Structure 1
Amino acid sequence: MSGKSQSDSFTLDLELVRQAIGHNSDVHFREFNIGRTDTRAALIFVEGLSDKELIEKHILKSLMASFPDSLNQSQFLINGNVSKEFVINNILSISEIVEVCTIADLIPKVLAGSTALFIEGYSNALLLSTTKGKTRSIEEPVSEALIRGPRVGFTESLSDNTALLRRHGENESLTLIKFQVGKRARKELVVAYLNDVANTELVEEVKKRIGKIDIDDVPESGYVEQLIEDNYLSPFPQVQSTERPDRVIAALMEGRVAVLLDGTPFALIVPVTFSMLLQSPEDYYERWIPSTLIRLLRFGAALISLLLPALYISFISFHPGLIPTKLVISIVHTREGVPFPALIEALIMEIAIEILREAGVRLPKPIGPAMGIVGGLIIGEAAVQAGIVSPVLVIVVAVTAISSFAIPQYNAGLALRILRFAAMFSSAVFGLYGVVLFFILLCSHLVKLKSFGVPYASPAVPYRLNDWKDFMLRMPLMMMKRRPKMMHTKDPLRKG
């Protein structure tokens, strides 16, 4: 059974496996005789990953039990050894049994929790499904909290996650294709799509990019995201990550493709547009009027998060004449004694807020939020009293930080936080013209950017009127009978 040639020697096969993984203390070899015959057999399993109770009750006990006296030896013996087919069909009460012929195929499965069964007289081994893993219970997603909606989130178990997709509803078109990723530490990855909805070219492109992943280990879906995205130089995420099965199902219904990796609760959705990153599943669970207003509020919050500090710098440093007279007098009065120009003043506060935000995330949960709030208040008040920054800037930075929290996707908010500093430097050099120039360059980048062939700025560019029903507005459900035109789906209608 070696990788080079098959061997009928029971002892040699066991020795080959011992040389490969026998030095591990958690790998167990159990040799015994089948029934009351002279046929030798051996089980190989990993402690902690394999279900020991299942092995003892349904494999060892069954194999070592005496055969009924009514059985004729010709029914279970071939060339003096117990028939492999008899063992599979009459003894083992295991749901999944796979025959393997090489050590290279056997060892990864054993180390993943399966049990290998060697039977004397046969060159191939049997892999028995005995995997037992301790997994986290299904809980509400932490990163995507909703007021109204399912309280179910993915876990670190791939089988649990695929089962959550299946449990959404009876759907024979839901297709799950399994891949192996990682050269040294192999993991299972699943590509999910609806085969009667998703565009065939999109599915093949996803499979192609996943097949090109060449890396030792894939510990989290973030690795997959970075290896399959279109433009790694762009600050914008071109793959959407989510912990919510309902978001994944909704994306599949639109003709998109999902990628699930074993060991992480975050699934990936492709292709993605920028507008998707400002949408929440709750938009569809509430009525269309409040959902539309909240969605418009998010787009406004995204603009504030991106441009407000830059606008403050440009107006204070270059265009105070554009500010109403009473307001500019008030601002000038509050800035008396501040030794820094507007850019340095804004950078001090923005960097302080970013440090506080990062510290709040990394600290233990009981003290993280409290530290962030108290730290922000103390630093802001102390900075104003010390004359380092003006009170107006504290308000600007606070509104900017709060606006960034209104963005549903963390990585989208992160991209805007990075670009905010670029906008600030641009405004400090060219004033309001710099802000406008920065915004034009940003829009041109968004227009050029694509995610798996779909324009990132769609449906704004290229303009598709039908898709605007679920863009900045969320129209009534009875008006959204068509799937997004940008997806080029096989079935364009949501309802038959």
Structure 2
Amino acid sequence: MFFWNRYLKKEDNKKNNQSSQESSSDTVKRSLHRQLKENLNNLKQELGNSPDMIIREFELGNDQLQVAIVYTDGLADKEIVNNFVMRSLMFEAAEETFTNLSSHKSIFEFIKNNALTIGEVKVIKEWNDLVLTILSGDTVILFDGFVEAISGTTKGGETRGIEEPSSQVVIRGPKDGFSESIGTNVSLIRRRIKNPKLRLEMMQIGDVTQTDVAVMYIDGVANEKIVDEVRKRLREITIDGVLESGYIEELIQDQTFTPFPTVYNTERPDSASANLLEGRIVIIVDGTPFVLIAPTNFFMFLQSSEDYYQRFDISIAIRFLRYLAFFIALFGPSVYIAVTTFHQGMIPTPLLISLAAQREGVPFPAFVEVLLMEISFEILREAGIRMPRAIGQAVSIVGGLVLGQAAVEAGLVSSALVIVVAITGISSFATPAYNMAISVRLFRFIIMIFAATFGFYGIAIVTLMITAHLCALRSFGIPYMAPLAPFILSDQKDTVLRLPIWTFRTRPRLINQKNLVRNGERKQPSPSKGKKGNQDEN
């Protein structure tokens, strides 16, 4: 084993050296060519003469300076390009503004400082930056005789508008959700947090895709060590492409071999803003509406944004119901297997007689019976998700009813088991976070095996193993089961319970150790003062 580990380490070092050499060769700086024709030919060659690369050439000034405008059709907003780039240059040329300029350099400086009527203008000196700018949707102006180019922000194209989130639906609360545009997602957060300390850092991840990734946090509220750790993990990512935030989540999480998610994801701007105010870091990936939040803990996946929009007593009741559904989804079939197989004495006599009568003609043991029904239910659920929306729900519901009734009439399963599996499946939908619900579905089968082998003792053993695993997990160095393990009394106001909002005077201690007290003094409302004031007025 020792020699095998040494061999694996040598192979990893070889791969790292090869990748470092390749990355160093790819990142060689390459300047623009002085001749315009040469730059345009290189662009056409590098992009494979792509038909969506639009090139418009014209001349400016008395000396007939050769100029070319380059942008990508579909990524750049044509209206902005035509009105604020081309029209600006053509109008100035028609007004003979450029004829009064004495040199090509003065024309270049005039265009950079005065001619373009768009918000952001930059000077490009490197070839890789030029290609990336064009493929990002911006417009580039190339000049003959210059080793510099001018770029203007013209990103646009067809994007999905702001719609209601599909995975985290609430009855009361904001109805806007993140979209696939990183600029739109950043603006949705800034619209809620109008604070100059809200920091935004941009980077590109993916050697081929060059996907834009934004990191947002509140300076002075977020833990600087955690922010540095997030930056470090993002910069150490070496991958060809990032197509969804799930790529980033898997590459930056603390523990890989665990079914529990250690990075929270949401498509609700209000949820992301609330976590920013608590000191967490938000990671936005271009091309996906799901935003990552770190660090996280286990209890975040059982909380909903609507918990803070309802009265606290209603929120407490709903949370208790949610936790009950979580345990039913996790242990429901296993308890049925353990009771009917090993612990019949725990069942009341009338119920035991009824169960025995139902199972009289069933040819399978309880474990096989439950396994068949659970697998059938999972297949129906997956088929309902993948089928078209118009018939997906109908097929899953009708298929479940028909399959359960047919299985009972055929004598393959008992009626009580169909009820247990149905309640278990419905309970799994009560978990607000889809990735946590998947983890529960996976562990349900493991607990069923232990229950069929050892009964309640097996359930207790696997429960202890799961609890120990949860307590050992970390999310960017923060204990996954905090604030229960370790136990922090001041943070219990928003863990299992949801106390009144006026009690939220401190931020989570393990996440933020610098700025614990929230700004503003919150006091409990005092209705008696209002009554006294009314009496005085009367």
TM-score category, normalised to shorter length:
over 0.9
Q: Tell me, what secondary structure is at the counterpart of 1:367? A: helix
SS at match of 1:371: helix
Superposed displacement of residue 150, structure 1: 0.4
Q: Which residue of 1 aligns with 2:259?
A: 235
Could you tell me how far apart the structure 2 residues matched to 1:32 and 1:472 are?
A: 67
Are 1:221 and 1:267, in contact at CA under 8 Å, matched by a contact in 2?
A: yes
Give the equivalent residue in structure 1 for 2:13.
none
Query: Does residue 46 of structure 2 align to residue 20 of structure 1?
Result: yes
Give, in angstroms, the shift of residue 18 of structure 1: 2.7
For structure 2, the residue ranges without an aligned partner over 5 or more in a row are: 1-27, 521-538
Q: Percent identity?
A: 44
1:57 Cα deviation from its structure 2 partner: 2.8
Q: Where in structure 1 are there 5+ consecutive unaligned residues?
A: none
Structure 2 letter corresponding to 1:9? Q
Deviation, structure 1 residue 72: 9.3
Q: In the TM superposition, what whole-angstrom CA distance separates every residue of 1:330-382 from its partner, at most 9, and x where no partner exists?
A: 11111111000000000000001000110111111121111111111111111
Size of the alignment, in residue pairs? Answer: 493
- The structural deviation recorded for 1:70 is 9.0
For 1:93-124, what per-residue CA distance to the aligned partner results, in whole angstroms no more than 9, with x for missing partners?
Answer: 12211111121110111122111111223211
Q: 5 Å matches for 1:413-492?
A: 413-492=437-516
Offset of residue 69 of structure 1: 8.1
In the other structure, the counterpart of 2:76 is: 50
1:60 to 82, 86, 92: 86
Q: What is the rounded CA distance, in whole Å, between the counterparts of 1:241 and 1:5 in structure 2?
A: 40
For residues 4-35 of structure 1, what are the alpha-carbon distances to aligned partners after superposition, in whole Å with 9 as ceiling and x for unaligned?
Answer: 45543333333322322251111122211014
- Indicate conservation of the 8 Å contact 1:157/1:264, yes or no: yes
Which of residues 404, 421, 424 in structure 2 aligns to 1:400? 424
- 2:138 is matched by which residue type in structure 1? S
Contact 2:358 2:414 in 1 (8 A): yes
Does the 8 A contact of 2:193 with 2:273 survive in 1? no
1:205 maps to 229
Q: Which amino acid aligns with 2:391?
A: I
Pairing 1:183–2:211 present: no
TM-score, structure 2 normalization: 0.89
Deviations 1:447-469 (A, max 9, x none): 11111111111111111111111
Partner of 1:152: 176
- SS class of match (2:354): helix
Aligned mate of 1:107, from 118, 121, 131: 131
Which amino acid in 2 is paired with 1:404? S
Matched, 1:280 2:304: yes
CA contact (8 A) 1:39 1:82 kept: no
Which structure 2 residues correspond to residues 264-343 of structure 1 after superposition, within 5 A? 264-343=288-367
How far apart are the structure 1 equivalents of 2:62 and 2:210?
40
Q: Is the 8 A contact 2:61 2:101 kept in 1?
A: no
Other-structure match for 1:252:
276
| Alpha-carbon RMSD | 1.8
Distance 2:162 2:97 in 1: 48
- CA drift at 1:495: 3.2
Indicate the SS of the match to 1:77: coil
CA deviation after TM superposition for structure 1 residue 76, in Å: 2.3
The aligned residue for residue 10 of structure 1 is: 36
Structure 1 segment 333-412 matched on structure 2, within 5 A: 333-412=357-436
| CA–CA distance in structure 2, aligned partners of residues 384 and 377 of structure 1 | 11
Query: Does 1:41 find its partner at 2:98?
Result: no
Checking the alignment, whether the CA contact within 8 Å between 2:62 and 2:98 is kept in structure 1 is: no
1:178 is paired with a residue of what secondary structure?
Answer: strand
Change (3 A) 1:153 1:8: same
**Structure 1-normalised TM-score?**
0.96
Q: Secondary structure at the match of 2:390?
A: coil
Other structure's SS at 1:83 match: helix
Partner of 1:29: 55
2:87 is equivalent to residue 77 of structure 1: no
Displacement, 1:288? Answer: 0.7
Q: Distance in 1 between matches of 2:95 and 2:365?
A: 98
Mark the CA change 1:122 to 1:420 in structure 2 (over 3 Å): closer, same or farther. Answer: same
Query: What per-residue deviation string (whole Å, max 9, x for no partner) do you get for residues 113-160 of structure 1?
Result: 111111223211111212222111111101111010001100111000
SS at match of 1:42: strand
Contact 2:98 2:107 in 1 (8 A): no
- Hey, what's the Cα distance between the residues in 2 that align with 1:269 and 1:162? 14
Distance 2:265 2:353 in 1: 47
Q: Per residue, is there more helix in 1 or in 2? A: 2
Question: d(CA) in 1 for partners of 2:467 and 2:97?
Answer: 79
